[in-house]
Structure 1
Amino acid sequence: MHRFRSLALCCAALAGPAAAKDLTVVSWGGAYEAAQHAAMVAPFAQETGMQVEMVRYDGTAGALARRGASEGWDVIDMLTDQARVACAKGLLLELDPQALLGAEALADFAPAAPSRCAVPQNVYARVMAYDERAFLGVKPTRIEDFFDVERFPGGRAVQKSPDGILEWALMAEGVPPAQIYGLLSTDRGLRLAFRKLDTIRDHIVWWRTTDEPAQMLEDGRATMAVGYNGRFFDAAELGGAPIDVVWDGQIVGVEVWAIAATTDAPDAARAFVAQASSPEAMARLAERIPYGPARVSAYARIGSNPKTGTPMRAYLPNAPQHGARALVRDAAWYANTEELRARRFQAWLNEGEE
């Protein structure tokens, strides 16, 4: 924490009188962005006196390439694989994690360590959820149920992307989690996954932004949905929506902080990343939205949601009761297959339009 304070004081001195905007932090909008603002952005702004603006994007390295320089992006919240892609393309500032955080802090990160261009900040899960009103008797309990439209009829809210749904398609075919990415690296595996998607093609309702899945369940456009655990929690626990989460088959990933290569405030950006990577900040985030901290020492600090009083540890993706069948998102596979996945997915979409 002393390291962060020295960085923050340095940046505050450089900033002088508060400008209209000293730092731009880019995130995903909605409940997640609101939680980040309360847990990380507001405390940083208060401590440094800086004006911090939050901007929403779609989470891709492509958006960073198109918008980052012209819109003055500084710090970006990214998926690990997108950060790898952006780093390889020179879109991110290279970091010195030890100088930024210290050797003791580096040893505290799990399940992923800081890298050349990114610092882990939270652990999230892509999960299945359903509208409790739609199934008054037997409830969905496993990924296979998502593909069973006879027993569990209704629309399926799915991101218009191959991300996550290909893994679930193979899982529903009985492929063990440990073999998923190996099989998806083959033509046979991709054909098998898309053939499984064919079974629900006519029931899919596509979504593009991460707040849509819960909305689609609430308004009846879908009875089951793919989405992020924190968004469903916010809709159900804070918004009172009749939504329940199925943890079977959850795909666990790591979100990171990165700094745009075109930033005009590198010192302020580093100071923000250092503060937002502290155990205290990670715990504050987990209390507001159930994304697990990326540092081990943060777990003991996690308490209750400040609005509802709900103890939050039980809702985290890595809570013991949620680990029966889980898949860790392979960031390297995602980074290396980006173009292939997009091409095969588009070809599958085109087949449905013929």
Structure 2
Amino acid sequence: MKARLLRCRRLIVLAALSLSMSQALAEEFRVEEVPSVTAVAPARMKPGTILFSDHPPDKIADGETGLMKFEDWARERPLQKRFLSPFPGYVEPRIMVSVHGIEKPYVEKLHMYVVETRFLIGRPADAIDLKRFVTLDVVEKLDPSIRHHRITADQARPNIDPKSAHNRHPDRRWCEAPQSLCIESRYPLEGRLPVGIRLANKLEEGGKKISEFMDFQSEIRVLPQTEIDQAGLAKLTNMDAPVAGVLEQTLFDVNQVMQFGKLLAVLQPDPADPSKTVATVFMALGIETDVLQQKKEFASVPVLRNLIPVQVLMGKSSFNTGNSISAGLPSYVRNRIRAIAQMLDK
């Protein structure tokens, strides 16, 4: 009798585990790459699928990196530039550099990595609470390998540091928007990257050292209805439906590699079924062009040939590892968007 009871209990436990695993698999969003996310009508979308596009047209893609020059992006995609820059009038940073002891103005050229994604949420738009994303505990769940802590407007570097003035918001101070969360984040690079960086720093004499950490400050907020540009955002998403909610995260200070980042999530009711919501999520990263051009000093050292910055950034290096930033931008963004989709769908 006891043996039978034990067997029954084991069967029940196994059945419960199987059910929970099936539910987890059912909730997992899969990524499907498409040429253009905004060209796909909601009627053609499938539940549990994230439509994903991160390849710009050949006419504006850099043949070597696959990225876009900021100036080309601004010219060819002005609507994206308006909504996905730190603020609408953003331009490439104008900074002062020392050349033979003389300060001279210099334009920090940028390349853009821009991602468009779209997915269905099985709930009406007015039932989705975006405000929960403006909390530290939810932000930490999106990527547990990145540590965050709150900061105030007086700790936001562009507000206080003249060297970061090029990323200063022209209309207000960062971190003073109503119902916003401002955070400073630190991500320790993983896997083989720290070892490669230490070796690169030893070989580099007198130059700027590469950090083993990504440090960045950002502002997260839900846009109030008075700030939502209904016509502009509907044009950006290419969907004729009212915008029910907008979540944005703006990276306004990064210690290396990038100048800025922007995540913009736009929620609209499904035109064919108001009980569902279409989420269109964009992510734009302004990468310093100088970083992409650092090749010769790495390529000449056999052990560092795979540490060429553009290869590491785009996930094409043997130094890439993990699921976060160290995996390269394409993998990191896919995992980040998948985490957001699963949270929105709960």
User: Into which bin does the TM-score normalised by the smaller protein fall?
Assistant: under 0.3
TM norm structure 1: 0.23
TM norm structure 2: 0.23
Between Structure 1 and Structure 2, the one with more strand by share is 2
Between Structure 1 and Structure 2, the one with more helix by share is 1
